Chain A
Amino acid sequence: MSFISLLWVLLLGSLLGLELIGKVPPTLHTPLMSGANAISGITMLAALTLIVKAEGNVPLLIIGSVSLGFALFNVVGGFFVTDRMLAMFSRKPSNKK
């Protein structure tokens, strides 16, 4: 991929992000923040690339592995915690009255 097309990708991605969140009820600010936060753990792909391309370079493998660990901590924890929060909202109809 040329650098210029990567810049286009960056630009369009940012615009998409700006558009996606138009009106968010305050109720959802915390879950949204935590969900978006989990997505930012997408760096796990970069960590994976690093490990695959390390070709037996042990220090690099370790750095990649630690990086992968941090990223997955973010991703798995983030999604679980968001789900826990949202589960409380969806429980509401059964408790009416």
Chain B
Amino acid sequence: MNLPVIIKFVIDLLAVLLLALGIKGLSKVKSARDANRLAAFAMSLSVVGLLSYYLGTSGIAIQSWIWIIIGSIIGSLFGAILAKKVPMTSMPETVALFNGCGGMSSLLVALGVAIFPISGGQENFDFFKSLINEVSISVSIFVGAITFTGSIVAMAKLQGWLSTPGWTQSKVRHFVNIVFAVASLIAFFDLINGNTSSIWLLVIVSSLLGIGVTLPIGGADMPVVISLLNSYSGIAAAAAGFVVDSQLLIVAGAMVGAAGLILTQVMCKGMNRSLVSVLFGGSLSAQITASSGSGEYTNITSCSVEECALTLEAANKVIIVPGYGLAVAQAQHTLREVTKKLEQNGIEVVYAIHPVAGRMPGHMNVLLAEADVPYEQLKEMDVVNPDFPATDVVLVLGANDVVNPQAKNDSSSPLYGMPVLDVQEARTVFVIKRGMSAGYSGIKNDLFDLPNTSMVFGDAKKVLNDLIGELKDLGVGEK
């Protein structure tokens, strides 16, 4: 072994170690930020390792440098700008977009190697070696393409640019997707048989498969899909590692792939959905209209902001249940104003965070942290659920399915079994909502019919602003 090889070996080993520590650290609140930086450092280290290896062995041509610099500058610049500019509420679609681009990168690498076989490394062209090469190229293209188109569709759906077309809810979609899958299999075997042109068929049908699989999935399940696609992009990276013979790529890709899978499973559990039903069950709301899950509300009590303020003023303990509606209305800062006033009056305020509040697990925590809500006030579902009977007022802001008692009481409900917040146990529940429309799942919420529930209709931000005014009139929080 000569020096450059040893140096690269050591650097690769170090990078893997740091990446593993990074992922590990990202799963704890205290160490998360440092861990993220550690991972970023490990990534740059791996680039330095690779470049110095080539400098020490074959050298890097000027022309190569030029293209490296062009690609790096453009990619990094766009990435950095988007990351700085994007609002926190659109985090899920941003992750989807980044993820899709990672998949695209693997796809392009494999495509490049397939069209122009890299010189060197393959002089001893034996059958076994070329078979492995073709298999890994195919896998890289297949997974990369699915990741790319799937992520783009997921992003478009979350942004509201794309709705769920009706035909995708019928059985036809399974047939269409099976056709795509079989076609990619044919292209794969054709490629192994030495027919290089079938690579384009593989690119096209696996891209279509990515679209076909993601399109029927409803908005509520999108986070799970993004997490799964994130896992896929890891697999695509590992496959690209086989293509260019890089252990570092394989380890890092496999780590991300496996970790993404676990995360996907955790999310599914939080939403009471199985991965299979997310992927093949179609949109949840479509199932409900088919069954008799919906019904009319019979006992709605609506009340004014003033009443709400009076009740809040008399309370000792208040629990806030924030949902995605709060984020859409950009009302997290206004909410913080309200709770500040209540706290100044000696009222205990806690935020109950359902595992899938917002659009992604943990999304709501990020949004509330942005509004300076102290971390200690955010309570997870299991911690806060026993507190509801001793709570005077619960404010439900833009949350719906996660507070539906049906999930506990009605075994015929599609929500049955999903972990929910037991808000109905509290003395008074105020639901701030724009109208009577159903939540993500499209299911009627039994909570709204309960005698201790009052609806305050209006946009979350406006209602909260009015609430601040009312509280001020009552002299709450003025000392």
Contacts and interface: CB of A to CB of B under 8 A. Distances in A.
Interface of A: 1, 3, 6, 9-18, 20-57, 59-92, 95-96
A42 B252 contact: yes
B256 A28 contact: no
B25 to A, nearest CB: 9
Contacts of B261: 17-18
Interface residues of B, number: 119
Interface in B2-46: 19-20, 22-24, 26-29, 32-33, 35-37, 39-40, 43, 46
B322 interface: no
B246 interface: yes
B349 to A, nearest CB: 13
A87 B363 CA distance: 14
B378 to A, nearest CB: 7
B105 A24 contact: no
Contacts of A28: 26-29, 32, 362
A20 B83 CA distance: 26
Contacts of B361: 26, 29-30
Contacts of A91: 369, 372
B68 A68 contact: yes
Given A46-B237, A70-B75, A79-B43, 16 more contacts: A1-B245, A17-B259, A20-B27, A21-B263, A27-B378, A30-B361, A40-B102, A43-B249, A45-B249, A46-B243, A57-B116, A81-B82, A81-B91, A83-B33, A90-B33, A92-B369
14 contacts: A11-B254, A14-B258, A17-B262, A20-B259, A30-B95, A31-B36, A34-B94, A48-B68, A72-B72, A73-B98, A79-B39, A81-B94, A86-B32, A91-B372
A13 B24 contact: no
A49 B244 contact: yes
A32 B20 CA distance: 13
A36 B234 contact: yes
B471 interface: no
Interface string B100-141: 011011101101110110111000000011001000000000
Nearest to B372: A95
A21 B32 CA distance: 13
Contacts of A21: 23, 27, 259, 262-263
5 cross-chain pairs, A with B, having the tightest CB-CB distances, nearest first: A17-B258, A13-B254, A77-B79, A72-B75, A68-B71
Contacts of B86: 81
B115 to A, nearest CB: 8
Given A75-B79, A85-B366, A67 B36 contact: no
A24 B266 contact: yes
A32 B83 CA distance: 16
Contacts of B63: 56, 61
B227 interface: yes
A26 B68 contact: no
Given A25-B380, A80-B84, A88-B370, A71 B256 contact: no
Interface stretch (B54-62, B157-165, B277-285): B54-62
A67 B108 contact: yes
B110 to A, nearest CB: 9
Contacts of B51: 48
Contact of B71 (A1, A10, A72): A72
